[in-house]
Structure 1
Amino acid sequence: MAKVTERTEADRALKAGHRAMWARGDYPSVAAEIIPGLGKELVDAAGVGPGDRVLDVAAGTGNAAIPAALAGADVVAIDLAPELLETGRRLAEQRGARLRWQEADAEALPFDDGAFDTVLSCVGVMFAPHHEAAAGELLRVCRPGGTIGLLSWTPGGFAGRMLATVKPYAPPPPPGAQPPPLWGDPEHLRALFGDRVTDETAGHHTVAVERFATPEEFRDYFKQRYGPVLSVYESLADDPARVAALDTDLAGLARRHDRGTGQGRLAMDWEYLLYTAHRSPV
């Protein structure tokens, strides 16, 4: 019994840390300015339509949930961070979308088995630390024959490399936590879902990011606004040498990925995996 209590307390502390991480900075601006169209792309790929019961897991500000609602679906959007959900509510109201927002953990969804026709996540559930637990919950709440739709950064793409760049500077991850970009590896998803899904599709795509004039502008934007990067910088507050080294590494990453269009701005292609599958009927 004591071990169970210890695990529960450790998990609560871990989730509290994740909640605080995503509340830091300004993730709503990152979602709006860097990846505004990815949510609708996922909704379209999953075939969401009128009357579908849809769950958006780790929904953030509703990048996928809002387009799903506008497509006529009955949508619930869940996230660990209530600050992101509050922004999502405002955005949905501005766009005339009606849906339900609920604070919840992707690894312990508060819904009945088979409650949804479609379960989505757009660069969201990939950040849940325990991949098997999260994948099991996605499947559990999806009805037999229903659709799982995921859009995730790939390990070898720009965002995956950005997370890999900051990892050596970060505190050690908790036991059992797995790297988020693994969700962008089709083989990892096959290992997670196994024969519990059918009709899998997995395609690599890129989103063009031309928001930044210089590598340094990119670096400063993400160190000030993006929770996973900002939190690492905060952990280095008393080590200016490591802060300077991370500054150099992040700017260098952007410089290496610039397509060099000659238009006076960085032009980068960020790779992601678009995955869909049907939950097996048995």
Structure 2
Amino acid sequence: MSIRSTIAAVVAVSATALTCTHAFAQQAPAPAAPVKNIVLVHGAWVDGSGWKPVYDRLTHDGYHVTIVQEPLTALADDVAATKRVIDMQDGPTILVAHSYGGSVITEAGVDPKVVGLVYVAAHAPDVGEDEAALGKKTPSYTAKQAGAVQKTADGYTFLNPDDFASDFAADLPAKQAQFESQSQILTAASVFSTPMDAAAWKTKPSWGIVAAADKIINPDLERWYYERAHSHTTVLEGASHSVYESRPKEVAAVIEEAAKHAQNG
């Protein structure tokens, strides 16, 4: 082969390689940017202020964080309150919930702006299910305590203040737990027995945190929820139901993981 022919062959091979590399680059999608909008949803008997330790960490890391204040008067009312906040977001959003709030985001999370769900010691029922019935199948420590959950004459529930610290907030400072026991948001009993109309975890990626020392929701039920939803699961040993307040570093880390990977499948 002449020198001219050899050079021509090398050029042809190089051109083919460049063409293949260019084609591969066109086919390989670029990683999606992290989601910046985070919406936090509280559970029964408390309000959104308990999210402040997590809020502080997320905003410090550059996230836009909004906290829903649910009325706790009916599941539909709480879902509507959450959807209002989702509507306020300017793009893709991670929806995070604690406890009963998990039922709320399971319905509200079907919103197209929501690209990922994070369950923090939370319920995650399927369509037609309700958390009260599921809780009876896997009862919690609190559910077995006579008189722990009290009800008003008009059908609103609260946790007996004498049981609040040990059951809901065992790993919080005593003064903080005492204050929260006396500042509970009375919650309509009906929210716990209203069946789901939607189950966003079936179509959206999800992350779940098991509070291993939870007395309000049986940790085994939390594990079951997350396994069924194929959630990326983190178990926090020794954490009470107030894990979002007592372990904000770990909880924020899971939320940020969801924000970084939700749009990449």
**TM exceeding 0.5:** no
Which band: TM-score by shorter chain? 0.3 to 0.5
Q: TM-score, normalised by structure 1?
A: 0.33
Q: TM-score, normalised by structure 2?
A: 0.35
Which protein, 1 or 2, shows the higher relative CO under an 8 Å CA cutoff with sep ≥ 6? 2
